[in-house]
Structure 1
Amino acid sequence: MENLSEFELWKQGAEAKVYLGDFFGQPVIVKERFPKKYRHPALDQNLTQDRFKSEARMLVRCKAAGIKTPTVYYADYISCRLCLEYFPGSATAKDFINEKLLMNDERSRDLLNKLMALIGSNVARLHDNDIIHGDLTTSNLILREPHDDLDLYFIDFGLGYVSKSPEDKSVDLYVLERAFLSTHPGTEELFALLLRTYLDKSTRDGKEIAAKFYEVRLRGRKRVMIG
C-alpha cells in the first residue's frame, strides 16, 4: 500500500494520520504513523516501528480472545501503515453516552446501564487475557449501526501492551475512570456499575486488581491535592 492518493485524509493526531478509502471493495481506514522531527532519526524509526508492531499484535490478540476490534487487513512495517476495517455510520461511546444522558428517558437510562455492563465485562476480558489498552476512554470505544444494538468495538491500541501485572491493569482501569468522569460529569453511578461488572466478570486476580485500583485512585487524588 505505497500510494494513498485515492484515500481521503480523515483525522490527524499527535502520533498518526488516518485516511479513509477502499481496499478490495471494503471500506477501510489506513493509520499511518509519521516521523517525529524532534527525535534522533534512528531512535524515532525504532520507536515508531515498535509501536506499530505492538498495535497490530494487540488487535490480533484481541480477536483471538473474542474481543471485538476492527479486522487488520494489511500491515506495512516499512511505511508503518495499518489498514483496518471501517464501520460507516458508527458512533463513539462518548457521543452515544452524551446523547442518552441528554434524552434522560427510561429507554435511554436502560441502554446506558446495559452499555456500562458491556464495557465492564469486555475490559475484564481484556485484562484476563493480559491485554492493557493504555488509553481506555469512551472515544476509543465505538458502536456499530444501529447504535442501540450496543455492538461494541475497541479501537486505537497505539499505547497497548501485554502485561500480567495487577498494577498495570488497575492503572488501565483508573485511566478509564478519570477519562469517563471528566468526559461525562455527574455519572459516578454509571461508572460504579461498570466497575462492579468488571470485578464480577474478572476471572483472574480480581481481588488484587480491585485493591490496586483503590490504591492507584488514592495516589491520584493525593497528587491532585498536592499539585
Structure 2
Amino acid sequence: MEKSVQPSERGAGDSSSASASASSSKAVEIPTVAQVIETQAKSASASGGSSVSGPPGSLPHPGFTLFKQGAEARLYRGTFLGKPTVLKERFSKKYRHPRLDEKLTTKRTQGEARTVARARKAGIPTPCIYFVNYQSNCIYMEDMQSATTSRDYIVAVQSIHAGDSFGALQPIMDKIGKTLATMHDGDIIHGDLTTSNIMLKQDATMPEPQVILIDFGLSSVSQLPEDKGVDLYVLEKAFLSTHPNTETLFRVILKSYTKHSRKAKDVIKKLDEVRLRGRKRTMVG
C-alpha cells in the first residue's frame, strides 16, 4: 500500500530544497584590496613575520631584517628617522672586474634614485626615498604599508571565483593602464614591469585602491615609442605567464593606456611591431 505524504512533511521538504537552491545560487563575495591586505597582515603576524637568511658576507644593517633576496639587490625592513623603511642594498657581483662592478653598481643606484624622483614629480605614486648611501649603494625608502602586489590580488580574486574575476579586476586594470600612460608621457621607461612591481594600496581612509610602481632598478629615460612599446611588451609577457587566460584583462590595461596617454598611437604601433618580432623569434627558435 502506498504511503501517503503528510502536508507538513511535504512543506518541510520543499523548504529544505528551496533553502539549498538559494544557498547554491548565492554569489561569492569578491574581496577588496583592503581585505586582501588585511588577510596577508594577519598571516604574517601569525607566522611571526617573514624573513630570509642572508648569504655569508652580506652587509649587516643594525635594526633592519632581511626579507627578500633578489638577483640584483637585497631588501631589508626596519626603521629610519622614526619611519617604517625598506632598505635596498645593491650588492657587488664577484664575476665582474672589481672596478667595473663598482662603476655599474653605483651608476644603477644613482639612476634608480633619480628616476624615482622624476616619477614622483610627474605625479606617479612611488615609495618616497629618504636617503641614498652611494658608498654602500643602499637606498632607504618608504615602506609601503597597507599595500599588496597586484599579482597577489589577482591570484586572490581568481582563487575565490574565477568566473566573476573579470568584473572585479577590471577597475584595477583601468587604474594600472592610466598610471603607465602617465609614466610613459613623462618619458620614463620602467624596464621591469611585472604584476609584482605594481602594488595596490588601500586603507580605511581610502575609498579606492591606489596603484603604486616600485623597483626602478632597470629604469631609464627615453622619448622613443620603441622603448615604451618594449616596456609594455615586457609587462604583457610577464602578465600572461603569471596569470594564464587573462588576455581580456590585459586588453583593459591597453585600452586605458590608449585613452589616457597623449602618445599612445605611436607606442601601440611599436608594441604591435615588437610582438611580431617576438613571434618570429619563437618560430625560428
- Smaller-chain TM-score range? over 0.9
Q: In the aligned structure 1, how far is the partner of 2:151 from the partner of 2:249?
A: 13
Q: Percent identity?
A: 48
User: 2:255 pairs with 196, 209, 214, which one?
Assistant: 196
User: 1:163 pairs with 196, 201, 222, which one?
Assistant: 222
Question: Does the C-alpha gap of structure 1 residues 63 and 33 become closer, same or farther in structure 2, counting only changes over 3 Å?
Answer: same
User: 1:12 pairs with 69, 73, 87, which one?
Assistant: 69
1:195 aligned counterpart, secondary structure: helix
Give CA deviations for 1:188-207 in whole Å, capped at 9, x if unaligned. Answer: 00101111111111112x21
| Alignment map for 1:65-104 (pairs within 5 Å) | 65-104=122-161
Alignment of 1:41 with 2:95, yes or no, is no
Deviation of the 1:106 alpha carbon: 8.4
Question: 2:179, 2:211 within 8 Å by CA — same for their partners in 1?
Answer: no
2:196 aligned counterpart, secondary structure: helix
1:156 aligned counterpart, secondary structure: coil
Corresponding pairs, count: 225
Alignment of 1:174 with 2:233, yes or no, is yes
| Structure-1-length-normalised TM-score | 0.94
Q: In the aligned structure 2, how far is the partner of 1:98 from the partner of 1:218?
A: 29
Computed over aligned residues only, the root mean square deviation of the Cα atoms, in angstroms, reads 1.8
Larger Rg: 2
Deviation of the 1:74 alpha carbon: 0.5
Deviation of the 1:108 alpha carbon: 4.9
Aligned AA (1:68): P
Deviation of the 1:148 alpha carbon: 8.3
Stretch moving more, 76-85 or 97-106: 97-106
Query: Unmatched 5+ residue regions in structure 2?
Result: 1-58
Give the aligned partner of residue 153 of structure 1.
212
Question: 1:54, 1:158 within 8 Å by CA — same for their partners in 2?
Answer: yes
Q: In the aligned structure 2, how far is the partner of 1:82 from the partner of 1:48?
A: 12
Deviation of the 1:110 alpha carbon: 3.4
